[in-house]
Structure 1
Amino acid sequence: MLFDDIDQDDELFDEFEVGLIDEEPTVPGMPDIPSPRGTENLIGHEFVEKKLLQMLDMGRFPHGLIFSGPSGMGKSVMAYRLTRFLFSEKDRAPDMFGTPEPATSLYVGQGHSIFGKVFGGGHPDLLTLGRPIDEGTGRIKASVPVEEIRKIAPFMRRTASVEGGWRIVIVDDADTMTRSSQNSLLKILEEPPEKALLILITHRAGALLPTVYSRCVHLPFQPLQDDDIAKVLEGRVNAADIPLVVAMAEGSLGRALEYGRAEHLEMMRDALAYFEDWPSFRWTDIQSFSEVFGNKGNDDAQRVFRETLLWVASSLIRGEAFEVPWLEAMNARLDVETKLAIYDQLSAHFDRCVYGNLDKRFMIMGAFMAFEV
C-alpha cells in the first residue's frame, strides 16, 4: 500500500497545537459576497432563529451560546444577526402606544444605524476574538491564545454605551482554544454580568471543556438544503457546474461559494477528469497538473484539491455517484473495505504532506496513487 514504508509513529504533529497554520477563511467567497458582519439575510436555520426568539420572549436568555457546525453553514452570520437585533432592542421597547408584538425575526436591515456600526467594527459594546495573525510570519495561529480570552472579563464588566444595553463577545474558532483559554472563561460564565452575552462559534462543540459547555446553551447548525445553495449559485456559477459544486459543498454555503470561483472550478474539473481513465491514470498529464498547482503560493488551490479528492473518497464510502459515470464504475467495482482503505490512506497522505511541509507536487501525485487498485 502507498506509504507503508513511512513510520507510523513519527511525530510530525508535536508542534501543531501551539504552532502556526496557513489561513483558511471560515466563509471564503466571491467578490460580491459580503463578510458575515455585513450579511443582511440568512439562508436556512429557521429553527435556530426561532429558538433564540423564544428564549428572548420568555425572558430567560442565556449568558453563553455555542453555535456549532461545519464551516460555511452560517454560524457567524447568525451571531452578527443576533448581535444587531440585541443592540437595536430599544426599537421594540414599550412606548405611548403600548407594547409591540413579539418579533418574528432577528432581521435588522442595512438602513439601520446599528448595522453600519457592527459591520464597521465600531460598536463599543461588541468585542470579536479569534485566532490572531502572527506578526512574524503573517500566518494565523493554530489556536485562540489565553491573552485574547483574558480581554473578555474586563470588557463585559464595563458599563454599556447605552443605558441597560448589551455587551456582546463573539469568539470565532472557539474549538481551538487551549485548556488555559477555556479555563479563563469560567469565571465570567459562572458569575456573568447582567445583559452580557458570550457567543462561541465552533466547528467541534466536543472540543470545549465540559465546564464551559455546561454553562452555555448549545445550538447546532444543520447542513443547508441543496436547493437553497443552488439558488444562491445561480448567476454566479455556470449552470452546468452547479450540480458538482452543490454535491461537493455538502450543505455548506461557504464551501459552495468558494468552489464556485472560476479558478477553483477549473482546477476541480481537471483533477476529476483524470478519473475518467480509472483504474489506470494518465500519469504524464497528472505530473504536468502537479507542476502547475503544486508550486509555492498556490495554498488555496492545493487545499481545494485535497477537499476534492477527499470528496471522491467519501462519496465512494457512501455509495453515492451523482450520475457521474466514472464514479458509478468505481462504486460498482470496489468493495467497502477497499473504499475505507482508500480514504484512510488518502487522508494520512494529506496530513503528512501538509503538516510535514512536504513537496506539494508529491502530494498531488501521491493522492491519485491512493486510488490505484
Structure 2
Amino acid sequence: MSKARAAAAAVADEDAGLTARRNPDLTGQAAAEQILIDAWNSGRLPHAWLIGGPPGVGKATLAYRFARFVLAQDAAGGGLFGESAPATSLHLSPDHPVFRRVASGGHADLLTVERQRDEKRNRLKRDIAVDEVRKIAPFLHRTSAEGGWRIAVIDGADRMNTNGLNAILKILEEPPKGTLLLLVSDNPGGMLPTIRSRCRKLTLKPLAEDTVVDLLGQHRPDIPADDRPALARLSEGSVGHAVALADAGGLALYREMIGLLSALPRLDIAATHAFGDALTRKTDDGMYETATELLVWWLARFARSLARGAWPAEVVPGEAALMTRLANARSLERWVEVWEKVQRLFARAESANLDRKQVVLNALAALEAAAS
C-alpha cells in the first residue's frame, strides 16, 4: 500500500480516531452495517471482528458506531443480560449520553487502542506501542462498570508489532465472557493467520464515486465543486484519500503530470526539468511523495486497463488519448516492465536517499524510452 493511501485513513487529519468517535453518520456501507445488525439480532454475536477495507471508507466509523450501539443496549437494559426488540439500525443520536461519553473518550466500558502522537515530530507514531496493546487484557477481564459489555477497539490493528499481535492472540484464544474486540485494519491480509481465523471478518468496499462527491461537499465544502468528481475517481472510492489528495495539491499535480506525459513519445525537456524542480524544491511539503505515488498509480491503472482492453473513465481530459497512443507503441508486457521499473526506482530512492530530481527524471526517461 502506498504511503498516500495509508495516510488516507486519517481523512486528512492525524486524529482520525477522534473523528470516527464523534461521527454519527456512516454513508455507503449499509451492507456491512446490516451484517453487524444481523449478528446482534441472532443472539450469537462473535466476540471478535476484523473490520478491513481500503483506507478512508468508514471502517473506524463503523467500529465506533457498533460500539456505541452495544453500550447503549447495556444502558437501556437490553444488552448482555437483557432482552430487546430486534435492531434495525446502529444509529445513535449525538445527544444520547452514550454517544457523548464515547465521543469524549470517557466511557468506562470502552477502551481505544491506536497510534500515539510523537510529540517531538508532531505527528502520529508509525506503529501502535505494545504497552498500549497490553492494556487490553486486564481491561477485558475486569468487571464491567455498567454491568454489560466491555469493548476494545484497535484502530490500525495492522500497525501492531509481533509482540502486540501475540498479546492479541492470547486474548482471542480465551476471550472473557461479555467482551467484544473490534480490530480495524487497512491490511487484514498482513496480520497473523491465527488472528484472522479467530475473528469474524467484515470487509468494507470502496465507496461509489457519487457518494465520495457528496461527502466531500458535506464535509469539505472548501474543495471546489468542479474538483470533487475528479478527486473521487482519483481516490478510487476513498473519501479519506480524496481529502488527503486535495490537501496535498494532488489533483493539480496529476493534471500537470498528464499534461507532461501527453507529449510522449518525446517529452518536453524544459517542462520535464521544471516538473522535477517543483517536486523537489522543498523536502517537507510532500509534493515529491504525492507525485511519485500518482505516477505509479497511473502506470498500474494503464496496465490493468490495457490488459482488459478498455480504458477507464478519465480523471482529467486527455488520458484516454494518451493511453491509446502508448498502447499502440508497445505491448502490455513492456508497459508492465516499465511500471515495475519505476516502482523499484522510487523504492530504492527512498532507501538509499538518492537525488530526488534525478530519480524523477529517470522515471520519466523510462516512459519516454518505452514510448519511442
Short-chain TM bin: 0.7 to 0.9
SS at match of 2:131: helix
Matching of residue 296 in structure 1 with residue 283 in structure 2: yes
CA displacement, residues 275-300 of structure 1 (integer Å, 9 cap, x when unaligned): 2212222232332333333222113x
Matches within 5 A, 1:1-373: 24=7, 26-29=9-12, 35-90=19-74, 92-93=76-77, 101-134=85-118, 140-164=124-148, 166-234=149-217, 235-261=221-247, 263-294=249-280, 295-299=282-286, 301-319=287-305, 320-323=311-314, 324-331=317-324, 332-333=327-328, 334-372=330-368, 373=370
Structure 1: tracts of 5 or more residues without a match: 1-20
Deviations 1:145-192 (A, max 9, x none): 43222111111112222122x222111222232332211112211221
Q: Which stretch shows the higher mean deviation, 59-68 or 174-183? A: 174-183
Letter in 2 for 1:214: S
Cα deviation digits, residues 25-76 of structure 1 (max 9, x gap): 5232389x98222222111121211111111111111111101111112111
Q: Scaled by the length of structure 1, what TM-score is found?
A: 0.83
For 1:357 and 1:89, the matched residues in 2 are separated by 54
Counterpart CA distance in 2 for 1:238 and 1:122 is 37
Q: Which moved more, 1:326-335 or 1:206-215?
A: 326-335
Q: RMSD of the alignment, in Å?
A: 2.8
Q: For residue 267 of structure 1, what is the amino acid of its counterpart?
A: L
Distance 2:107 2:351 in 1: 38
Change (3 A) 1:196 1:91: closer
Among the aligned pairs, what percent are the same residue? 32
Residue 357 of structure 1 and its aligned partner are, at CA, apart by: 3.4
Partner of 1:13: none
TM-score scaled by length of structure 2: 0.83
| Aligned counterparts of 1:91 and 1:141: Cα–Cα separation in 2 | 35
Matched to 2:223, the amino acid is: V
Provide the C-alpha distance between the structure 2 equivalents of 1:341 and 1:157, rounded to a whole number of angstroms: 53
- Which has the larger share of helix? 2
Listed one character per residue, the Cα deviations across residues 209-259 of structure 1 (whole Å, up to 9, x for unaligned) are 222112111111111112211222345533433332122111212112222
Alpha-carbon distance in 2 for matches of 1:99, 1:129:
30
Partner secondary structure for residue 182 of structure 2 = strand
Contact 1:236 1:260 in 2 (8 A): no
> Equivalent residue for 2:308?
none
Whether the 8 Å CA contact 2:7–2:241 is kept in 1: the answer is: no
Deviations 1:88-116 (A, max 9, x none): 1146546xxx9753221111122222222
SS at match of 2:138: helix
Q: Which consecutive residues of structure 2, in runs of 5 or more, have no partner in the other structure?
A: 306-310
Aligned length: 346
| C-alpha separation in 1, matches of 2:365 and 2:23 | 42
* CA distance 1:277–1:218, shift in 2 (3 Å): same
**Residue identity in the other structure for 2:208:** Q
Q: Please give the alpha-carbon distance, in whole angstroms, between the structure 2 residues aligned to 1:55 and 1:196.
A: 15
Contact 1:248 1:311 (C-alpha < 8 Å) held by counterparts: no
Which amino acid letter does the alignment assign opposite residue 289 of structure 1? Answer: F
Change in Cα spacing, 1:161 to 1:92, as seen in structure 2 (3 Å) is closer
Rounded to whole Å, the distance in 2 between the matches of 1:364 and 1:37 is 40
CA contact (8 A) 2:296 2:339 kept: yes
- In the alignment, is the contact (CA less than 8 A) between 2:172 and 2:198 conserved in 1? yes
- Work out whether residues 30 and 261 of structure 1, in 8 Å CA contact, stay in contact via their aligned partners in 2: no
